[in-house]
């Protein structure tokens, strides 16, 4: 059997392979040779074969069949074997393989070997990849070596102990006695690794931390060592660019940070040395800056005096002006951490930070952007916004979304005027319109609605913006919505803030139709556009026919969403023309919904969803659902929540009769009442349905709640009867019955109700829209009220109907709810 090919030879051969396939072939051949060599248990060349295997493993080829061979090498007496064996173990084995446990005995023996380099190998391997079981078994050996006088072994044992503690934290106590004299060493290696060990112990266990602070007087020791490092002269062995052992300095500073955190005494003891390091360290090279950086981190984290903190921030400020990118990056990161606590100090460096927005490096730009947003306040908002908008223009796409959101937030908090706010938003929409987040559109719409005096100006600017380019969806959506709402202002040229433009109704419809047709518009945008066109039918005077035509065309659109809207709007034109103006009225000023905090009650003010919700016309069923905006309009005030409109079903008119029957018979045994049958299947808030789905709704009526007469006027009487849900005590179900004692029927009867903010209301479909005369029948309708805070029920009702040839409408407040209905 010829000697296996040498390692360097193999490497040379593999490198000559010109293609991946060629390389694979060579590797496979060699692997086969190695395998057979392993099978022959060849001791001489095992080392060589494993080394070759490690090379092939690095190239990405499988090498698991060498794992056991590594163990054999470790067990060998030859140093080369051990060296390669341990290397192989570290590269090929890890705690997932059971094989690794076989190493434990070998390592134990080698830890007690007579040659320190063998001991070193064993410590290194254990310290890099030892599993928890191995660590548990061998911790005692490591602890023994931690106490040896051989500094070569001591430093390795310290780092090995760090690994043991990381794997098996309970063993930390074991190493405590050995740490007593560690810092008395002269050898820097031992000092460094000891500091690492102490850091690990203090970080992991607050008890240890307290112990080291008080009993061991660690802080003075560390201060002394650090002082020696700084004050002592040139030491060639540890010098790096004129600084003595920077690695040790940095580690000591880090340990001081942990010791001084939240502890006044320790912080006090290190104030001087920190100031000394901060002022004396040479900053011309990276090394010095590394130490200063660590010092700054320490100063900011401990309870340092204010002078020291200012010194630290000034160091960071100087870093910002450094030519070296890495230093600037590090400064920005640290400033970001401190901006909350030392806001004013950081503000002083604002201009430098803003300059960093123009840096070429992506990481620096991101940091600068985050920091800039943190520094915006009422005083600097105008200047900062200019810079940030310029940044938004020129930055990479990955930043635009975050930047846009940040700008919106800042503008919301600190806008000096409404006009400025709207201008800023316009600017963002036009420059980064496609990167704006989805929730920005409804927020903006809300903002625009609330700036009443700016409506004309806003709609004009938005119109001009999309005239040129309607590809940016959020911009187009907001613009479409505004034009739909305020198109009349646009056409009549009422703008005060700037020169009003001359726009005809046709031109406005042109642009909206282009948006509808354009391939760039998403389905959502098209929906906005169609609704806007519809709304203009009440605001424009000359072009109603054109609008009708557009709407009817889309009645056959492939897009289901558009089709549905168009069909419904068509119905609005045909059958419900009398309601059209009411439905398409101007949106009222909205209650402000905070973007961040959770709101207890969901305010469905219709604007958080795309337009169709609030203008959804009544379906072809016999009864309309209450319209949110009409209600707000009528009942005024911001403390009334709108009703969630119900999806109507085609409920047979006799259902009301069944209900009456049920009540009349006092049927208590829980036969599922018919009222739930009238409950629509879709899109109802689950809490109200909870009481229905499994159990009969009605509770024991015998112990029932008295009914009340809510309204009685002009022959129309409305009674309320109450039930409480068994499963959900906050739900009250009110059944209204409307009866008519006059001689003529009341037709087109619509009942609407509103409740204060702390309640939620749901109206189900009424039984019919005609209240027959002479009390011959009633209209029944079910209202569900959610009252989680168990407050007294109050309700305002609005009634509209036709009677004796004229339209009647009335408003009333119902205050006489019996206590059992809401307590």
Name the residue nearer to another protein (CB basis): 287 or 547: 287
CB of 277 to another protein, least distance (A): 14
The residue among 653, 657, 650 whose CA lies nearest residue 681 is: 650
CB of 58 to another protein, least distance (A): 6
CB of 754 to another protein, least distance (A): 50
Kindly tell me the sign of the dihedral angle through the C-alpha atoms of 291, 296, 299, 301. Answer: negative
The residue among 260, 269, 320, 272 whose CA lies nearest residue 293 is: 320
CB of 96 to another protein, least distance (A): 6
412 sits in the region (left: phi over 0; alpha: psi -120 to 50; else beta) called alpha
CB of 125 to another protein, least distance (A): 9
CB of 154 to another protein, least distance (A): 11
Name the residue nearer to another protein (CB basis): 95 or 268: 95
Residue 756 structure tokens: 């204060």
> Strand locations in 189-325, DSSP E?
239-240, 243-244
For the chain, the 3-state helix, strand and coil shares in percent, each to the nearest 5, are: 60, 10, 30
The residue among 69, 96, 99 whose CA lies nearest residue 84 is: 69
- Residue tagged 């003529």 (tokens): 744
- Residue tagged 């719409």 (tokens): 445
Name the residue nearer to another protein (CB basis): 238 or 318: 238
Q: How long is the chain?
A: 823
CB of 268 to another protein, least distance (A): 23
C-alpha distances (whole Å) from 610 to each of 64, 442, 586, 642 are 59, 8, 16, 16
- Residue tagged 């806007």 (tokens): 532
CB of 56 to another protein, least distance (A): 11
Name the residue nearer to another protein (CB basis): 311 or 330: 330
CB of 315 to another protein, least distance (A): 13
CB of 94 to another protein, least distance (A): 5
Name the residue nearer to another protein (CB basis): 5 or 668: 5
CB of 191 to another protein, least distance (A): 8
Alpha carbon 449 to its chain's center: 27
Name the residue nearer to another protein (CB basis): 11 or 101: 11
Name the residue nearer to another protein (CB basis): 223 or 229: 229
Name the residue nearer to another protein (CB basis): 192 or 651: 192
599 phi and psi angles, rounded to 5 deg: -105, 140
Q: Which helix (H) or strand (E) holds 710?
A: strand 708-713
Name the H helices within 433-520.
440-450, 455-468, 473-492, 505-517
The residue among 537, 542, 822, 541 whose CA lies nearest residue 551 is: 537
Name the residue nearer to another protein (CB basis): 80 or 341: 80
Task: Kindly report the number of other CB atoms within 10 A of residue 608's CB atom.
Answer: 17
CB of 688 to another protein, least distance (A): 43
Cα distance between residue 487 and residue 536, in whole Å? 7
CB of 122 to another protein, least distance (A): 12
749 phi and psi angles, rounded to 5 deg: -75, 125
Name the residue nearer to another protein (CB basis): 72 or 794: 72
Name the residue nearer to another protein (CB basis): 89 or 509: 89
CB of 54 to another protein, least distance (A): 7
SS3 letters across 402-430:
HHHHHHHHHHHHHCCCHHHHHHHHHHHHH
The residue among 583, 490, 475, 576 whose CA lies nearest residue 529 is: 475
For residues 356 and 392, is the Cβ–Cβ distance under 8 A? no
Residue 110 structure tokens: 């080698």
Name the residue nearer to another protein (CB basis): 91 or 660: 91
Cα distance between residue 501 and residue 492, in whole Å? 9
Residue 41 structure tokens: 């248990």
For residues 104 and 70, is the Cβ–Cβ distance under 8 A? no
Name the residue nearer to another protein (CB basis): 92 or 625: 92
CB of 364 to another protein, least distance (A): 6
Name the residue nearer to another protein (CB basis): 360 or 558: 360
Name the residue nearer to another protein (CB basis): 367 or 784: 367
Name the residue nearer to another protein (CB basis): 115 or 820: 115
Q: Beta partners for 753?
A: 797
Q: Is 736 helix (H, G, I), strand (E, B) or coil?
A: strand
Task: Kindly report the number of other CB atoms within 10 A of residue 88's CB atom.
Answer: 24
CB of 642 to another protein, least distance (A): 45
DSSP string, 139-180: HHHHHHHHT-S-HHHHHHHHHHHHHHHHH-GGGHHHHTGGGT
Task: Kindly report the number of other CB atoms within 10 A of residue 676's CB atom.
Answer: 17
Name the residue nearer to another protein (CB basis): 130 or 656: 130
Name the residue nearer to another protein (CB basis): 13 or 791: 13
Q: Is 756 helix (H, G, I), strand (E, B) or coil?
A: strand
How many H helices and E strands in the chain? 36, 11
CB of 241 to another protein, least distance (A): 9
662 phi and psi angles, rounded to 5 deg: -60, -45
- Residue tagged 């309708």 (tokens): 781
CA-CA-CA-CA torsion for 192, 194, 200, 202, nearest 10 degrees? -120
Cα distance between residue 247 and residue 406, in whole Å? 39
CB of 367 to another protein, least distance (A): 10
């Amino acid at each position: 059997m010829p000697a296996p090919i040498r390692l360097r030879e193999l490497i040379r051969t593999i490198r000559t392979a010109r293609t991946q396939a060629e390389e694979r072939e060579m590797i496979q051949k060699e692997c086969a040779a190695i395998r057979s060599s392993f099978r022959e248990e060849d001791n001489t060349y095992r080392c060589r074969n494993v080394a070759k295997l490690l090379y092939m493993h690095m190239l990405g080829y499988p090498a698991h069949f060498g794992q056991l061979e590594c163990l054999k090498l470790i067990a060998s007496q030859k140093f080369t074997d051990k060296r390669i064996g341990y290397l192989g173990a570290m590269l090929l084995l890890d705690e997932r393989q059971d094989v690794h446990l076989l190493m434990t005995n070998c390592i134990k023996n080698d830890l007690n070997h007579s040659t320190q380099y063998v001991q070193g190998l064993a410590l290194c391997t254990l310290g890099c990849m030892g599993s928890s079981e191995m660590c548990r078994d061998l911790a005692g050996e490591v602890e023994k070596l931690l106490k040896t006088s051989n500094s070569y072994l001591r430093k390795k044992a310290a780092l090995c102990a760090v690994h043991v503690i990381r794997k098996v934290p309970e063993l930390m106590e074991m190493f405590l006695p050995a740490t007593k004299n560690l810092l008395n060493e002269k050898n820097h290696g031992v000092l460094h690794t000891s500091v690492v060990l102490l850091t690990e112990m203090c970080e992991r266990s607050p008890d240890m931390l307290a112990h080291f602070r008080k009993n061991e007087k660690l802080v003075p020791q560390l201060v002394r060592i650090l002082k020696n490092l700084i004050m002592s002269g040139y030491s060639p062995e540890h010098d790096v660019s004129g600084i003595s052992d920077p690695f040790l300095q940095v580690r000591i500073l880090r340990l001081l940070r942990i010791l001084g955190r939240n502890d006044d005494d320790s912080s006090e003891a290190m104030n001087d040395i920190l100031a000394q390091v901060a002022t004396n360290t040479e900053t011309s090279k990276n090394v010095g800056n590394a130490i200063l950086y660590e010092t700054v981190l320490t100063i900011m984290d401990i309870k340092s005096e204010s002078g020291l903190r200012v010194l630290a921030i000034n160091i960071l400020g100087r870093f910002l002006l450094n030519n070296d990118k890495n230093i600037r990056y590090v400064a920005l990161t640290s400033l970001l951490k401190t901006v909350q606590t030392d806001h004013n100090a950081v503000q002083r460096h604002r201009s430098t930070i803003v300059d960093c927005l123009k840096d070429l490096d992506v990481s620096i730009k991101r940091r600068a952007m985050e920091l800039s947003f943190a520094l915006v306040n009422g005083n600097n908002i105008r200047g900062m916004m200019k810079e940030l908008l310029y940044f938004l223009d020129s930055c990479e796409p990955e930043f635009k979304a975050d930047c846009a959101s940040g700008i919106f937030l800042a503008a919301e908090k600190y806008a000096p005027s409404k006009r400025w706010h709207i201008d800023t938003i316009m600017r963002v929409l036009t420059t980064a319109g496609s990167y704006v987040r989805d929730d920005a559109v409804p927020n903006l719409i809300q903002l625009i609605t609330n700036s009443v005096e700016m409506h004309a100006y806003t709609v004009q600017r938005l119109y001009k913006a999309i005239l040129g380019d309607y590809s940016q969806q959020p911009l187009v959506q907001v613009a479409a919505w505004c034009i739909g709402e305020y198109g009349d202002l646009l056409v009549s040229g009422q703008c005060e803030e700037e020169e009003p433009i001359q726009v005809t109704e046709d031109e406005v419809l042109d642009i909206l139709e282009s948006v509808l047709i354009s391939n760039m518009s998403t389905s959502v945008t098209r929906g906005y556009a169609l609704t806007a066109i519809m709304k203009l039918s009440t605001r424009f005077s000359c072009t109603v026919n054109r609008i009708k035509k557009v709407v009817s065309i889309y009645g056959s659109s492939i897009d289901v969403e558009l089709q549905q809207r168009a069909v419904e709007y068509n119905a609005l034109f045909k059958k419900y023309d009398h309601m059209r103006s009411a439905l398409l009225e101007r949106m009222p000023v909205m209650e402000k919904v905070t973007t961040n905090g959770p709101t207890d009650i969901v305010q469905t003010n219709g604007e958080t969803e795309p337009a169709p919700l609030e203008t959804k016309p009544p379906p072809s069923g016999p009864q309309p659902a209450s319209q949110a905006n009409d209600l707000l309009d009528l009942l005024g005030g911001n403390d009334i929540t709108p009703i969630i409109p119900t999806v109507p079903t085609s409920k047979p008119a006799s259902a009301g009769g069944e209900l009456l029957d049920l009540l009349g018979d006092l049927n208590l045994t829980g036969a599922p009442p018919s009222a739930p049958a009238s409950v629509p299947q879709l899109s109802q808030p689950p809490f109200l349905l909870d009481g229905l789905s499994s159990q009969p709704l009605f509770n024991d009526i015998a112990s029932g709640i008295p009914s009340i007469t809510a309204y009685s006027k002009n022959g129309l009487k409305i009674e309320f009867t109450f039930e409480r849900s068994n499963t959900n005590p906050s739900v009250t179900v009110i059944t209204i019955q409307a009866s008519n004692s006059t001689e003529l029927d009341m037709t087109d009867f619509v009942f609407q109700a509103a409740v204060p903010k702390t309640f939620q209301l749901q109206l189900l479909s009424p039984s019919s829209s005609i209240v027959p005369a002479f009390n011959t029948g009633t209209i029944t309708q079910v209202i569900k009220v959610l009252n989680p805070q168990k407050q007294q029920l109050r309700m305002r009702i609005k009634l509209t109907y036709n009677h004796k040839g004229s339209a009647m409408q009335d408003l009333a407040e119902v205050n006489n709810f019996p206590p059992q209905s809401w307590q």
